[in-house]
Structure 1
């Protein structure tokens, strides 16, 4: 929780702004060869980051109290708050380095340089792993709350070491920026037209982030009413985010500069073509993850109560995964479409669409927890909200743009992907039910075997139904021709 405190401050005030505005603005500056605009925007944001870091230091204790008030009864609340407040203060400088990371990534992405920004988090992971290995050694092998509270040197290593990982992640982009030809001059200019444009775009984005936080707090209040629901919701959401973070975010990052460049040039044919290709690729990789999660989550939730896992948290977590699963498609499409809005420098419509999404999420959560269990009601509400929001966002975007987007082509790819995913689900069902028919205790083995077999089934179905062709993926012959052991 303490480590999330700088994230909360950063996202509430600046994170969403940087995500929404920087890549399109830097792309426009490159197209117009306006170096002074980039200097002004970057310099002004650096000054803002310094101020925001000071704010994070001041409000860290209050945020710890706000988000940490529902402590598990088995945990010493005083120790929890004491350690949490100290760590939140040590973590506060992360705000500055998160901002530098966002700036560096945007400058590189606008120049179609993606590798350094994609791999920089690895350095952070290495540092954090080293810290997590070192801290237990400092407290006799058991880094529990009481020992960390008693050993302030271990507490300092934990806090400062984690922050050092974030700093290293940001600083590691500097060589890539130099190689990309980025030469910046520190010239903060609040009245520069480019800074004014960034502030204009960012105002709506602040509201967007606040709306998300309000909805998250409502869900959190509902979730604490039943033991294990908060943890199950969080675990399910982590799995939900995994394919989105690995696959969808990579696609969004790659396609947004192209969309922004097409917008600056007013090349709407290119804009529509890239938007369609991105959505088709997104659909091809996210649909199987969504249907796979739904199938496995449902099977585990139904079979596990008759096994040694009965009474454990795994059943609630499986229910959460199954509830989140249908929303993965809508969630990823929704955020991809929002990147298209940002590419055309429109943040106002995403704000209102996001308000609708959050309202649907909250209303459905209040309604669905009555007929369903708490975890099922909350996760289905989340999924339904994003599926509806995805359709709404795409409709509003296409209405805003000149005509030319192939809606039928996209829907055809979505239908083909769902068809291939249904075949995958059938294979998973056969494998899991076949193995557990004689011994339900083998549910874990069944799931482990079903996942790769289901993935193979989806790939075969995707090529057979034309999903791969729609997404622009190479065919089997082209893949074989590239293998190093091919004849010739």
Structure 2
């Protein structure tokens, strides 16, 4: 692991920014359900505010995120100007595409709504809710341009080994969102409503959300000068290798398309559950509850996996460019072990303590009546938490080799599995269980994808399906089963002690702290006995300064 200290130090700064970003993002989500609840109004706003990010990814996000960094690194290595001209052309072309896409998508909002929402929303009974969704989506759609600008500038910084700003900038967006929700509560109060928003509420939510993305993108611009890059618009796109990038991006676009089809289907199923609950008077848990569980499941991924994966992309790209595929495999294998040693115990804790975590996050707010559904949804995401993050790491190996076709076919299988399981299973349950079913479908789909991606990459570069990995997985499985059993027993024992009023914030928080702390100690002790050196290495790296 001689190269890992540098990786660990680079990841530590990103992880710190990501931790703060994820924590403020979680606060934003908690504030959201506290202010506007988890019913139909919350779904209308959540979908309107999340669809620009989804559509940006559909338009250009995959190309910006996973294709451009290897190309920028190659240009820095081979071009006389250090890749500046190439980067200027990429930024110029990207901004033009984003601007055109933002205009077209805003015009297409009525059609997009038809894809996202169940047909029931377009009946006379839901006129006010439909109007709210339309106005919110129009106000949020310019975010497509600013999401793209943020990623374009961020990838130029990443290619120059400046990873921190891209991890820290979203914090400002989250703070603006928190201020917006606070202002909303002050002006309009809180409620778990399902009858649509007033015009004033729509303006505050829509414009406030878009302002956050604008500030997030603008924050990165000064850092370009700090790395010696001066942006100058260039329109000479021919003959500079952008065709190669576009060919790589074609498969990546296909990857994004199938992924976003799954997103649209899940959003339609989730919002359909809350619409059905509103129509029939049943308790429902749909898109907002699913989104909260998903966001929580993504916190470990963002803090641990994205930081490690982002830091190794330039190294993987360099190894692949020089034909050292065995080094690509060994880097991926070591990164997978580091990720597993940290993600697995967190997933166990989430699975066991989901109900208590939901009580801490949602008690006392407008969504307090949905705490039970939130808890089961959080627990159901524990499988997806592990499978998704490992699959994410494995795909970095394909992208480093500029293979975007294989990830497309793998993602097609994942999307099909997700859609099939979610559609069939959600139709068999009451609306209150829909968010839990969607979370389980997500985990099942990425478990299938992980099995395929790991097998294919290992056959090409090695370093994954090795004896060392097998021994590590056996030891980790034994430690995990032991830890899970002890945590379940401790949780049951704690509940039987009946130390305070059940279902209160204080009781749930004490449960989390005591049982979660016990589980962490049990895992650390069992890992020490099992000689899982990766955990010791991570701890030493985090404690090392500089």
Task: Choose the corresponding residue for 1:385, options 428, 435, 445.
Answer: 445
- Note the 1:172-211 alignment, pairs <5 A: 172-211=219-258
Q: Which moved more, 1:224-233 or 1:97-106?
A: 224-233
- Give the structure 1 partner of residue 13 of structure 2: none
- Note the 1:102-113 alignment, pairs <5 A: 102-113=151-162
Unpaired runs of 5+ residues, structure 1, are 302-310, 484-488
- Note the 1:84-233 alignment, pairs <5 A: 84-137=133-186, 139=187, 141=189, 149-151=198-200, 155-220=202-267, 224=272, 227=277, 228-231=284-287, 232-233=289-290
- Give the structure 2 partner of residue 338 of structure 1: 395
In the alignment, structure 1 residue 248 sits paired with structure 2 residue 305? yes
Distance change >3 Å, CA 339–CA 156, structure 1 → 2: same
Distance 2:479 2:307 in 1: 23
Q: What is the TM-score of this pair, normalised by structure 1? A: 0.84
Q: Which moved more, 1:186-195 or 1:163-172?
A: 186-195
In the alignment, structure 1 residue 417 sits paired with structure 2 residue 463? no
Task: Choose the corresponding residue for 2:99, options 38, 44, 50.
Answer: 50
Distance 1:82 1:382 in 2: 31
Task: Choose the corresponding residue for 1:446, options 508, 511, 518.
Answer: 511
Unpaired runs of 5+ residues, structure 2, are 1-46, 278-283, 359-367
Distance change >3 Å, CA 241–CA 266, structure 1 → 2: same
- Note the 1:422-433 alignment, pairs <5 A: 422-433=481-492
**Is the CA contact 1:262–1:268 (under 8 Å) kept in the aligned structure 2?**
yes
Q: 1:125-165 CA distances to partner (integer Å, 9 max, x unpaired)?
A: 2222222233444x3545878895243xx643443332222
Distance 1:381 1:161 in 2: 33
Task: Choose the corresponding residue for 2:349, options 292, 304, 309.
Answer: 292
Instruction: Give the secondary structure class of the aligned counterpart of 1:326.
Output: helix
- Note the 1:276-287 alignment, pairs <5 A: 276-287=333-344
Distance change >3 Å, CA 233–CA 173, structure 1 → 2: closer
**Is the CA contact 1:463–1:475 (under 8 Å) kept in the aligned structure 2?**
no
Distance 2:195 2:387 in 1: 43
Distance 2:427 2:103 in 1: 44
- Give the structure 2 partner of residue 486 of structure 1: none
- Give the structure 1 partner of residue 68 of structure 2: 22
Q: 1:341-394 CA distances to partner (integer Å, 9 max, x unpaired)?
A: 112111110000111122233344466569988646544333222112112101
C-alpha displacement of 1:118: 0.7
Q: Which moved more, 1:29-38 or 1:15-24?
A: 29-38
In the alignment, structure 1 residue 400 sits paired with structure 2 residue 460? yes
Distance change >3 Å, CA 147–CA 382, structure 1 → 2: closer
- Give the structure 2 partner of residue 268 of structure 1: 325
**Is the CA contact 1:330–1:383 (under 8 Å) kept in the aligned structure 2?**
yes
Distance 1:436 1:409 in 2: 40
Distance change >3 Å, CA 230–CA 56, structure 1 → 2: same
**Is the CA contact 1:5–1:63 (under 8 Å) kept in the aligned structure 2?**
no
Q: Which moved more, 1:416-425 or 1:18-27?
A: 416-425
Instruction: Give the secondary structure class of the aligned counterpart of 1:189.
Output: coil
**Is the CA contact 1:21–1:342 (under 8 Å) kept in the aligned structure 2?**
yes
C-alpha displacement of 1:269: 4.3
Instruction: Give the secondary structure class of the aligned counterpart of 2:238.
Output: coil
Distance 1:217 1:91 in 2: 17
* Bigger relative contact order (CA 8 A; separation at least 6): 2
Task: Choose the corresponding residue for 1:435, options 466, 471, 494.
Answer: 494
**Is the CA contact 1:338–1:350 (under 8 Å) kept in the aligned structure 2?**
yes
Distance 1:431 1:39 in 2: 57
Q: Which moved more, 1:211-220 or 1:191-200?
A: 211-220
**Is the CA contact 2:139–2:210 (under 8 Å) kept in the aligned structure 1?**
yes
Distance 1:174 1:219 in 2: 35
- Give the structure 1 partner of residue 521 of structure 2: 456
| CA RMSD across the alignment | 3.3
In the alignment, structure 1 residue 358 sits paired with structure 2 residue 415? yes
Instruction: Give the secondary structure class of the aligned counterpart of 2:169.
Output: helix
**Is the CA contact 2:354–2:375 (under 8 Å) kept in the aligned structure 1?**
yes
Distance 1:251 1:44 in 2: 29
C-alpha displacement of 1:278: 1.3
Distance 1:217 1:89 in 2: 18
Distance 2:212 2:426 in 1: 40
Q: 1:160-203 CA distances to partner (integer Å, 9 max, x unpaired)?
A: 33222211111111222211122333113342342112211111
Distance 1:147 1:211 in 2: 31
Task: Choose the corresponding residue for 1:60, options 86, 109, 113.
Answer: 109
Distance 2:407 2:297 in 1: 22
- Note the 1:466-485 alignment, pairs <5 A: 466-469=531-534, 472-475=537-540
Distance change >3 Å, CA 463–CA 347, structure 1 → 2: same
- Give the structure 2 partner of residue 257 of structure 1: 314
C-alpha displacement of 1:80: 2.5
